[in-house]
Structure 1
Amino acid sequence: MATDSNSRLPIIDISPLLVKCDDPNMKEDTGVVEVVRKLDRACRDVGFFYVTGHGISESFMKKVKEMSHQFFELPYAEKLKIKITPAAGYRGYQRMGLNLTGGKQDFHEAIDCYKEFEQGKYGETGKAMEGPNQWPENPQEYKELMDKYIKLCIDLSRNILRGISLAFGGSPYEFEGKLVGDPFWIMRIIGYPGVNQENVIGCGAHTDYGLLSLINQDDDKTALQVKNLAGDWISVTPIPGSFVCNIGDMLKVLSNGVYESTLHRVINNSPRYRVCVGFFYEINFDAMAEPLDIFKEKYPGDERSQLSKRVVYGEHLVNKLQTTFANLMEHN
């Protein structure tokens, strides 16, 4: 499988999958078969891969990052107009050092967005996250741009998961019923200041919460690092026009541990400001994630597959948020 010489992560052209994404017989197409094979291998071996041939233009991906840079360049007082609070459903701007990973402050600022839902829809669990996303007035048209971007990422994530579903040995649509018929999503627009010293932790080592992540990072700065099976940190060199894709905790649970949600971190050793836009595609907020029968049957002897874990996604997410922002009330 092709890999970038610096990062050694798989590069997967998913265009054959997109051509056949609405064909129920897609698994019979030789191009789709090859994409599915590569997705399966990447999910087993490292949990991270580059996605090319995804149909979202490089110029549009770049515009998303450029407008995000413009927001982070605003005066601090201006950014605080959309300040994140528990009362705002953990949505909005978080200042530098507010985010905690492993109990330690991360050196980044961000705008956090989540799928909006009706008040009371998810009962007591969902109450903590109720409310509209907060968008800045500047730059102008930022909200409209990001709304379009979110729709494109939802479609792309759904189609990649059709390929992963085939890799499971299921139909292409395993993720589109009661499990992901009403997918939740998260978007974090993250800014990492330039530094004049090495190894400042922009974001500490963590795994992602949900199913699938699409990372749109600045093309000219290498900061994302992935921990491989050998325990080494691999630098993920940007490939212009690509997404860095990785699987999260929920897919690890569904696959009974056969697919790995991999530790990763961000260290921006560049003196220049770095932007990364992360889109996270999740299962239904109120869905129960547990190992799929096909994995329990297919891999009964696999040591990694003995998770026997059940978790409601929304409870998992709210718990993670309240841990991450444990100091929000005290310092906000």
Structure 2
Amino acid sequence: MTTQDTLNLPLLHLADFSEDETSPAAERFVEQLRTTCHEVGFFYLVGHGVPTQLNDDLQRVSKEFFSQPVEERMAIAMDNSPHFRGYTPFKGEQTNGQSDLRDEIDFGPERAAVPNSTVPYERLIGPNQFPDSVPELRSVVLAWQREMDRLGRTVLRAVARALGQDPAILEDWVSPHAEDTIKLVRYAAPTEEDNSNQGVGRHRDFGILTFVLQDEVGGLEVEREGDLVSAVPVPGAFVVNLGEMLQLLTHGYFKATVHRVVSPPTGIERYSCIYFFNPRLDATLSPLNLPTALQRNAPGGESDDASNPILATYGENILKVRLRAHPTTARAHHADLLQESPA
């Protein structure tokens, strides 16, 4: 049985909040959330209300896609999409300038492209690519996206309470819709030619909230007090962490925590389904006026990496990340932006 004593990260029960947001149990959840987001920036979330069957279906169709021949996977290659949607082959994405030992599919809000826009980040708006080889994947992904949007908004209301804010202030960031991203990821073991076991290199996430649905294979590691600890898989739980935008907005009172994924051992693959709950692209987020008791413990939310500034307008921040992480797609569709993006 999973208990807090056996885990390296806090375990929070969202049902205590969502069943009655005015109850004493909800207030206790908010206090737990405040402490966790200030001290750790990562936690397990149970009682979230996302149907187990839907999570199982998503993991099943994800594995079915990755089992397809490479030509079927490459039919929806991200390099086809100026909106950074679709399949990225093994080692096709980079973190800190080094290739990640994984392949993946990216999805976002299903919308029409904005032709001839003069706003660079509006190039990210557009349709998804779904594979003909796994027709069920489209309906499952879109159903999961709706459930995760509901979950993201619930947690965001709790975040507002934890920060002493009117929830309407934070809800405005994701209205009329969030700029969410879904990644279905497969991690593989290093080959003899690889000089690392970097499933994903050390990094912080870039938005507001990230929800990770892990399989039974470990590998996610989280920085705590200078050490990296394992976020062991907990059945039925999401691993949740905070992004850079929330760190910036809270003057660093809430922290975006460094983490990485270590490749699985030879003969084993790891699958992960990730939901990034992010502000709308044109949201320019101003730091919040925190209660005095919180403000005195806020060290400042700016990035300590001069080469990776946190930009206040979300669209500019995510475009910066996309151009860096997917160099071949960037060169194919956005060569004019590469010299303009932050170094």
Structure 1 CA distance for aligned equivalents of residues 147 and 223 of structure 2? 29
Q: TM-score, normalised by structure 1?
A: 0.89
> Is 1:273 matched with 2:269?
yes
Q: Give the fraction of aligned pairs with identical amino acids, expressed as a percent.
A: 25
Q: Deviations over 1:283-303 (max 9, x none)?
A: 1210112211226x5545446
Contact 1:199 1:269 in 2 (8 A): no
Aligned to 1:23: none
Structure 2 CA distance for aligned equivalents of residues 167 and 34 of structure 1? 10
Query: Could you say if the C-alpha distance between residues 204 and 322 of structure 1 is closer, same or farther in structure 2, counting changes exceeding 3 Å?
Result: same
The 10-residue stretch of structure 1 (160-169 or 172-181) with the greater mean CA deviation from structure 2: 172-181
Query: Could you say if the C-alpha distance between residues 152 and 327 of structure 1 is closer, same or farther in structure 2, counting changes exceeding 3 Å?
Result: same
Aligned to 1:221: 217
Query: Could you say if the C-alpha distance between residues 329 and 19 of structure 1 is closer, same or farther in structure 2, counting changes exceeding 3 Å?
Result: closer
Q: Which runs of 5+ in 2 are unaligned?
A: 304-309, 334-343
Aligned to 2:103: 109
Aligned to 1:240: 235
Q: Deviations over 1:270-323 (max 9, x none)?
A: 33111101000011210112211226x554544613649761000010011001
Q: CA deviation at 1:3?
A: 5.8
SS of equivalent residue, structure 1 residue 251: helix
How does 1:81-96 map onto structure 2 within 5 Å?
81-85=75-79, 87-96=81-90
How does 1:200-215 map onto structure 2 within 5 Å?
200-215=197-212
List structure 1 runs of 4+ shifted beyond 3 angstroms. Answer: 2-7, 116-123, 178-181, 194-199, 297-303, 306-310, 327-332
SS of equivalent residue, structure 2 residue 8: coil
Contact 2:79 2:328 in 1 (8 A): no
Query: Could you say if the C-alpha distance between residues 38 and 154 of structure 1 is closer, same or farther in structure 2, counting changes exceeding 3 Å?
Result: same
Structure 1 CA distance for aligned equivalents of residues 99 and 221 of structure 2? 18
Aligned to 2:279: 283
The 10-residue stretch of structure 1 (258-267 or 11-20) with the greater mean CA deviation from structure 2: 11-20
Query: Could you say if the C-alpha distance between residues 61 and 90 of structure 1 is closer, same or farther in structure 2, counting changes exceeding 3 Å?
Result: same
Aligned to 1:35: 29
How does 1:48-67 map onto structure 2 within 5 Å?
48-67=42-61
Query: Could you say if the C-alpha distance between residues 329 and 161 of structure 1 is closer, same or farther in structure 2, counting changes exceeding 3 Å?
Result: closer
Q: CA deviation at 1:4?
A: 4.2
Q: TM-score, normalised by structure 2?
A: 0.86
Aligned residues: 322
SS of equivalent residue, structure 2 residue 124: coil
Give, as a single letter, the amino acid of the residue that structure 2 aligns with 1:257: G
SS of equivalent residue, structure 1 residue 288: coil
Contact 2:87 2:105 in 1 (8 A): yes
> Is 1:159 matched with 2:160?
no
Contact 2:323 2:330 in 1 (8 A): no
The 10-residue stretch of structure 1 (113-122 or 84-93) with the greater mean CA deviation from structure 2: 113-122
Structure 1 CA distance for aligned equivalents of residues 51 and 173 of structure 2? 32
SS of equivalent residue, structure 2 residue 145: helix
Structure 1 CA distance for aligned equivalents of residues 202 and 311 of structure 2? 24
Aligned to 2:18: 18
> Is 1:128 matched with 2:129?
no
Contact 2:253 2:301 in 1 (8 A): no
Q: CA deviation at 1:117?
A: 3.6
Q: Which runs of 5+ in 1 are unaligned?
A: 21-25
Give, as a single letter, the amino acid of the residue that structure 1 aligns with 2:256: S
Structure 2 CA distance for aligned equivalents of residues 259 and 247 of structure 1? 8
